[in-house]
Amino acid sequence: MQLLCAVQQYHWGKLGSASLVARLGRANDPRLAVREESPYAELWMGTHPSGPAVVRATGEALGGWLRRNPCSLGARVLEQFGQDLPFLFKVLSVRQALSVQAHPAKGHAEELHRLRPDLYKDPNHKPELAVALTPFQAMCDFRPAKEIRSFLQNIAELREVVGEDAASRFVTCDEAGQQEALKACFSALMMASSDCVASQLTCLIKRVSTLGEADRNFVLAPLLEELESQFPGDVGCFVIYFLNVMTLQPGEALFLAPNEPHAYLSGDCVECMACSDNVVRAGLTPKHKDIKTLCEMLTYNCQPAADKLFVPSREDDCTQVFLPPVSDFAVAHINVTLPKKRYALRQRSTASILLVVEGSASTSDPELLLSPGSVVFLPACAELSVHPTGDVALDIYQAFANV
């Protein structure tokens, strides 16, 4: 079944037709009126109540259709997750930085939902996978300790905000005490007074404008200046000295487990996650910040940026698959290059959702034609062959349960 999907216009999204979300959203549903001055941030493909997909032919909500046709989900999904998709599939187009954030583990999510249902609206965890469609910049997990130490030792404004005691404790700690010292140091940064943060950020911005190229590169001046222009005086601007900053190339991926700090900064990606919208935020956002909860829940593991790349496995000459260590979801990337005339998609034992990003094709279903923006629901064990048409390779992403 072809689906019509929801577009979310969060303020950080790319504007108008510059947004891949807007272009795919308009192709998916011609009723979408794209305004060039408006942001288009996310395309949601799934059953989450904040943006449920509907069956194109009938207008019925996909979630309702699944409850009437539960066998389409597959036996293992029904057994583990019940009569609904366990994942939410998205496209993101990021113009401004998203918040410094992390997602709670399952038990913690249940507790947060019980205590603050106004902020944490469901009891589910939210591990997620992001696969770059364009160069995609993000912050992810803590840098190697020696890099954080170097920043603390050489950027006086950062040390001032963190405080001498916490900074010195981390700089001089041994490996056994590293996690606790990092937690104390990062918590001191995030809980610093807003006046101190704003004044030291102003000093740093002024100082980096006078530095030579090598020193500007060391202090990550271009990124610092960009974030400060978006969020003046925000503590999140200093987080670049604690978290890895990396740029994914198209096809590269990040997997974000519970309690791992991150922030998306710019670019376009496909994202898949457990079906939840739980986010604990602490910087680079006008939304509610729950700094104490974030600082308590983080893992405080230090590792190089290269170690955060999540590598797929190849299924055949057209398909590679990202299999994260959770049962809620997996993502296949299907690229059918020309002049291949026919390709049979792998049968999945669970229901899946297909998104066409580029290219066009006819299929083994004579009523199903694919083009950019096509979103298709496939029942468990369904067979589908694609026949590329036109002169552009067929590029498809497929989300399914990892059970």
- Tens of pLDDT, residue by residue over 121-170, are 788 888 999 999 999 999 999 999 999 999 999 999 999 999 999 999 99
* Contact yes or no for 397/361 (Cβ under 8 A): no
Mean of the pLDDT values across residues 326-336? Answer: 97
Residue 287 has pLDDT above 90, yes or no: no
pLDDT, tens digit, for every residue of 41-54? 999 999 999 899 99
**Which amino acid is it at 1?**
M
Give the count of beta carbons closer than 10 Å to the beta carbon of residue 138: 26
Q: Could you say which of 281, 342, 346, 348 is catalytic?
A: 281
Q: What is the pTM of this model?
A: 0.95
Closest by Cα among 8, 12, 11, 33 to 21? 8
Q: Which residues have CB under 8 Å from 169's CB, separation 6+? A: 181, 184, 185
Residue 119 has pLDDT above 90, yes or no: no
**3-class DSSP state for residue 258?**
coil
Residue 320 burial by Cβ neighbours in a 10 Å radius (0-12, 13-18, 19+): middle
Structure letter (DSSP) for residue 38: S
Omega prior to 339 cis, within 30 of 0:
yes
Task: For residue 295, give Cα distances in angstroms to 35, 152, 173, 190, 259.
Answer: 39, 19, 19, 8, 10
Pairing of strands 330-336, 343-344: unpaired
| 281 is a catalytic site residue | yes
**Number of helices and strands (H, E) in the chain?**
12, 24
Mean of the pLDDT values across residues 363-382? Answer: 97
Mean of the pLDDT values across residues 87-109? Answer: 95
Q: Map 295-321 to HEC letters.
A: HHHCCCCECCHHHHECCCEECCCCEEE
Residue 286 has pLDDT above 90, yes or no: no
- pLDDT given for residue 244 in this prediction: 98
Longest dimension (CA), the chain: 69
Q: Compute the distance between CA of residue 63 and CA of residue 264 in angstroms, rounded to an integer.
A: 29
Element (DSSP H or E) covering residue 336: strand 330-336
- pLDDT given for residue 150 in this prediction: 97
Element (DSSP H or E) covering residue 255: strand 253-256
Give the count of beta carbons closer than 10 Å to the beta carbon of residue 33: 7
Give 248's strand partners: 136
Give the pLDDT band (50/70/90) at residue 113: confident
- pLDDT given for residue 120 in this prediction: 86
- pLDDT given for residue 125 in this prediction: 82
Domains and CATH numbers, the chain: 3-140+247-281 (2.60.120.10), 144-241 (1.10.441.10), 313-400 (2.60.120.10)
Q: Compute the distance between CA of residue 380 and CA of residue 78 in angstroms, rounded to an integer.
A: 11
**Average pLDDT over all residues of the chain:** 95
Give the pLDDT band (50/70/90) at residue 356: very high
- pLDDT given for residue 8 in this prediction: 98
Tell me the backbone φ, ψ of residue 178, rounded to 5 degrees: -65, -45
pLDDT, tens digit, for every residue of 219-260? 999 999 999 999 999 999 999 999 999 999 999 999 999 999
Omega prior to 104 cis, within 30 of 0:
no
Tell me the backbone φ, ψ of residue 302, rounded to 5 degrees: -100, 130
**Which amino acid is it at 306?**
A
